Chain A
Amino acid sequence: EADIYQTPRYLVIGTGKKITLECSQTMGHDKMYWYQQDPGMELHLIHYSYGVNSTEKGDLSSESTVSRIRTEHFPLTLESARPSHTSQYLCASSSSGRGTDTQYFGPGTRLTVL
């Protein structure tokens, strides 16, 4: 299993605040992903990166932004949080160099915006 970490695990903040969700992986994976999941629902891809300085928007439109300055780090930022952003955010990574491209997921961040 890959080692992939997310902080914070839980976050409750007020409307209008700027937040950054952290995601790091120690396996040297070139690809990283952010998914959004509402309770009891399927996951939707919101951002992905195929390497340093590469970021793309996913299938679900999101007001968040991401950056990939280092291979191991893929933070997600919300400039002004709103209650509609309340959800679980899951980070994942994979390595195209190993042939299987299996994605491994972090523990997630549960975000509540009041």
Chain B
Amino acid sequence: GIQVEQSPPDLILQEGANSTLRCNFSDSVNNLQWFHQNPWGQLINLFYIPSGTKQNGRLSATTVATERYSLLYISSSQTTDSGVYFCAVYAGGTSYGKLTFGQGTILTVHP
């Protein structure tokens, strides 16, 4: 099956700093989502981004499908950005609709 790798595994920032999270995937994908998991375990949709670039406030994401990677940018980080960020992909074909998750990046933002 498809492999999804995220880097870095852990990231510690001071409030106000910028960061880039990376997601590499091993095969062609139909769709890709970025999630933020808060301390209570809730998965919050950040982006649905199979290709191209999207922005939402301080967050933006870029997926280069031909090179099999996606990037999540967080600017002017805040303590509320802390948590785990997951990238997840749909592999397509008979597995259409089933998400395969990366192992996540644990982000800690200090005041």
List A residues at the B interface (Cβ < 8 Å). 1, 31, 33, 35, 37, 40-45, 48, 50, 58-59, 88, 90, 92, 94, 96, 100-105, 107-108, 110
Contacts and interface: CB of A to CB of B under 8 A. Distances in A.
Chain A to chain B: the 3 pairs with minimum beta-carbon distance, closest first: A105-B43, A42-B101, A102-B48
Interface string B28-50: 00110101000011111100100
Q: How large is the interface on B (under 10, 10 to 19, 20 to 34, 35 or more residues)?
A: 20 to 34
Contact of B41 (A42, A44, A58, A110): A110
A45 B99 contact: yes
Contacts, number: 66
Contacts of B99: 33, 35, 43, 45, 92, 103
B8 interface: no
